[in-house]
Structure 1
């Protein structure tokens, strides 16, 4: 199962704004990863975060994925697309400084990943 686990100290203006962010993140990941939307898990934790002696908005995201077949010979291109699209999405919803966004990418093997059966 592809998973996006995100943490931030950003406070969304309303529950609907947070839901809109999560919906768009799941949809973007489904498109990038070539997976059905029900197979995507997106988590967002609100937490205290402190960086460079500042509590300004900061965002951390970890993405666990299975490399789509069409990128089997070009993982670098896949990672660039995933990073660029998720950076754009995070900035769109939070206006966080891009130098305060950290992303981690973990590739899972098909054998070790949860299998979508729907």
Structure 2
């Protein structure tokens, strides 16, 4: 299961605006990762963050993913696309300075990424 775990000190103007951000993030990840939307998990924590003596908008995101097969020979191109699209989306919704947005990417194996319970 692809997962995006995000933390920010950005204050969304309403729950609907926050939900719109989450919906758009899930849709983007679904498209990039070639996974159905119900398989995408998004977590968002709004919390105090402080960097360089400032509480200006900051954003940290960790993305756990399974590399799509078509990128098996070019992982760097996949990571560039994922990073560029996620940064663009984060900036669209939060107007965060790109130097205050940090992203971490963790590739998972298919065997370790999903366990059915049933």
Q: TM-score, normalised by structure 2?
A: 0.97
Paired residue secondary structure (2:112): coil
Q: How far apart are the structure 1 equivalents of 2:114 and 2:17?
A: 30
Structure 1 spans left out of the alignment, 5+ residues: none
Quick one: structure 1 residues 116 and 73, their matched pair in 2 at CA, closer, same or farther if it must change by over 3 Å? farther
Shift of 1:39: 0.1
Question: What is residue 105 of structure 2 aligned with on the other side?
Answer: 105
Correspondences of 1:67-82 after superposition (within 5 Å): 67-82=67-82
RMSD: 1.2
The number of equivalent residue pairs is 117
Shift of 1:83: 0.1
Are residues 1:42 and 2:53 paired? no
Q: How far apart are the structure 2 equivalents of 1:8 and 1:103?
A: 12
Q: Which runs of 4+ in 1 moved over 4 A?
A: none
